[in-house]
Amino acid sequence: MSWLLILILLQMVQTLNCYGLCPRGWFGSVCQYQCHCQGKCSRQGDCDADACSQGWFGYKCQYQDIVSKFEVLYPKIDSELSKLSNGDDTDCIEDERINSVYVHLKATIYFTWMSITVGKPDVLEKFRVYFENDDKRFGCEKQRFKTIDNNTVRIQCEGNQLVNTVILEGEGVTSLCSVHVSSGRNFGLKQKATLTTSQGAIDEKVLADGNRETFPKGNCTPIMGSNNVPVKSWSLTLNVPVVASSFEILNKGNDLLK
């Protein structure tokens, strides 16, 4: 019994030490997750202010939100619509006149799932989801609901359609607090990035460090020579197999390639 107790205590101390050793803005057993809270993160990655930064949502704020803006044709409440992506699930729009909400995305994507938080639990699963792309409208194939809590639901669709606008209809749109469309998690974070040059291969940690600020010196790795001729190639090795839905490459000057 005493040996078991000692082993358990040692394991607890080891885990606490791992969390405590993470640099600011990181958490996890090996500091593998990046904080995306409006305020500070706890050692376990929970937000002190209980709100994710703009553009992030979900468990520990680890999912990227690809929503650009919201549109309601009637009534005209444009000034209020920013509430739906401000990270505050208690700041809601309650309006019985709303019939539909257009969710415009930052880019055309293969839709996988979205998260919706409502003010009234009784309308949690009362949504119909449609999509638009190039003026074509089509429905959510095999729409499924997964309840996260009393006020939050995850909606998934099957199919392989590119979309740039999500349309919400049904009684649920009269009591919206937060709407997020997932563009996935960054599985490349802190993974092994390797550059290949004429002199051989070298590890380049800055390629997968999660830092999106490209102007400070040392944040980027030069990969182009004169006349835009590539002089290097690079590879990213993940520690677990994943199904990747998209890739992002951030160039110097915050130019984003997808």
* Complete domains list, the chain, with CATH: 23-53 (no CATH), 66-181 (2.60.120.260), 192-257 (no CATH)
Using one digit for the tens of pLDDT, what is the confidence trace for 53-104?
Answer: 989 999 999 999 999 999 999 998 988 898 999 888 999 999 999 999 999 9
Higher-pLDDT residue of 194, 109: 109
What pTM does this model have?
Answer: 0.76
- Residues 225, 197: contact at Cβ < 8 Å? no
Using one digit for the tens of pLDDT, what is the confidence trace for 149-196?
Answer: 999 999 999 887 899 999 999 999 999 999 999 998 877 777 777 777
What is the arithmetic mean of pLDDT over 190-218?
A: 63
pLDDT at 207: 67
Higher-pLDDT residue of 5, 236: 236
3-state secondary structure of 168: strand
